[in-house]
Structure 1
C-alpha cells in the first residue's frame, strides 16, 4: 500500500477552499442536495430520468453514475454534461433515455452501494465517473480499484455496457497521485472495458472553465466535457445496439 503521509499538508489549502464553498451552498436555490462540494456526503436519493422530449420506445437507457461533476453542481440539469450529450445525440437522430444518478460527494464505495438501484433500472449503458473524491481524501488505492472493479463487473453481469471515465489528481499529490492516475488505464486494459482516459482535459485547472470554487465546471466547462466524452459514448451506444 502506498503511504500518503503528507496528504493533510497538501490538501489543507483545498480543504479550506471547500469549506468556503460549503459556506455559500446555503444560498443555492436548488436546495441542499444540489449544493454540495466534493467532500460533502451524498443524499440517499437518486435522480429521476431526464427527458426533454418524448423518446422512441427502443431508445437505449444510459445511466451516469458519478459525483458532483456528473451532477452539474450549481447548474441547471440540462447544463450538466450528461444532459448536454443527450441533447446533442437527439439532435443527430440518436436519442437515448438519460438517468443521471450522479450525487455530490459520492465516492467509489458509494457507487458500489448505488449500483444495485442502478441495475434495477435495466440500463443498456452505465457510465462510471467516480474516484475523484476518493483520491482527494487519500483513500487507499487498493480500495478504489476494488470498488471500480466491482461496479464494472456487476454492471456487465446485469447485461449493461460500461464506459469508464478516467480521473486524474493534481500534480502535487506525488507518488500517490501518479499511482492513482495509472490505476484507471490499467484497470480498463485488464477488464477490456471502454475507457475515456481524461474526460476533464482542457477543463480541470482551467479558471475560465470552472466556477469560483475552482473545482466545479461552468456551463461552458460542461460543454467541453461533452466534447471529450461524446466520441466514447457514441462507440459504446453502437456496441449496445449491436447486441
Structure 2
C-alpha cells in the first residue's frame, strides 16, 4: 500500500518533469544511436518507438533509453531491424496525433505506441485520449497496412478518482482488442514505484530501470519480429 501511494505521488510529478522546458527530447529524425537515419535498404526494416519521455530516455543518454537497448538486443541476434526513437518529452496523445504524419514519412515495418500517461496525469477526458490513440493507429495502418503494431499500457494513480484510473488503464486493453494489435499491459512493470530504479526526480527510470523496461517491451515485441 505504501509503495502504491509513493508511486501515485511520483506519477503526479511526471506532468511537471515531462514539460520541463529545459528537457531535451529525443529528436524524432534520429535513430537510437543519435545519428541521422539513413535511407533504409531493402533488407533492413524500421521499428518506430513513438512515445513520450519514457521512450525518449529523459535524463539519460539516448543510448541508455529502452529503444537503444532493444537495438542492441536485435544486433546481438543479427536480426534485420533498425530502431528509430521517436520519443518526445511531455508528449500527449493529442500532440502525438498531430506529429504522427511527419513520422510516417519514413518506412515503418513495426510501430510501438507509448502514449497516454501525460493525458492521465492531466485528467484529460478518457474519450479524448482513446480517440487520439485510435486516430494514431488508423494513420499508421492507412499509410503502412502491413506494419505490425504494438501498444504499451500505462497506469495512473487514483487521484482523479478510482473510476477514472481503472477506466484509463482499460483504454489500452480495449484498443488492443478492437484493433487486434499486440499489447504490453504496463510499460513500467517492476520499475514504477521502485526508488532505486528511478532517477532523483523519482519518476523517470535510471539506466538500470530502462533495462527492465526494455525486457518488458522485448517480451512482447520479439513475437512481432518473429512473425515478420
Partner residue in 2 for 1:76: 61
Which structure 2 residue ranges, 5 or more long, are not aligned? 1-7
Name the CA shift for 1:123/1:52 in 2 (closer, same or farther; >3 Å). Answer: same
Q: Does 1:165 align with 2:163?
A: no
Question: Structure 1 residues 155 and 171, CA, compared in 2 at 3 Å: closer, same or farther?
Answer: same
Question: Which has more radius of gyration?
Answer: 1
CA distance in 2, matches of 1:126, 1:114: 14
Q: Which residue of 2 aligns with 1:197?
A: 185
On the 8 A contact 2:43/2:80 being kept in 1, the answer is no
Aligned pairs for 1:54-93 (under 5 A) are: 57-93=42-78
Quote the offset at 1:230 in angstroms: 0.3
Q: Which has the higher contact order (CA 8 A, sep 6+)?
A: 2
Contact 1:18 1:213 in 2 (8 A): no
Query: Structure 1 residue 49: deviation in Å?
Result: 2.1
Residue aligning to 1:225:
213
Alignment of 1:95-106 (within 5 A): 95-106=80-91
1:119 aligns with 2:104: yes
C-alpha separation in 1, matches of 2:119 and 2:32: 27
Q: Closer, same or farther in 2 for the Cα pair 1:18/1:64, shift >3 Å? A: closer
Answer whether contact 1:47 1:102 (CA < 8 A) is retained.
no
Deviation of the 1:198 alpha carbon:
1.2
Q: Distance in 1 between matches of 2:11 and 2:143?
A: 42
Query: C-alpha separation between the residues in 2 aligned to 1:73 and 1:193?
Result: 27
Deviations 1:126-149 (A, max 9, x none): 110000000000000000000111
* 2:44 is aligned with 1:48: no
Please point out which of 190, 194, 199 is paired with 1:211.
Answer: 199
Q: 1:123 to 1:181 in 2, by over 3 A?
A: same
Q: Tell me the TM-score normalised to structure 2 length.
A: 0.84
RMSD (Å) for aligned C-alpha atoms: 2.8
Q: Which residue pairs with 1:40 in the alignment?
A: none
Deviation by residue 1:34-59 (Cα, 9 ceiling, x = unmatched): 17xxxxxxx9x634123589997512
Report if the CA contact (8 A) 1:107-1:134 is conserved. yes
TM-score of the aligned structures, taking structure 1 as reference length:
0.79
> Quick check: 1:151 aligned with 2:151?
no
Q: Is the 8 A contact 1:65 1:128 kept in 2?
A: yes
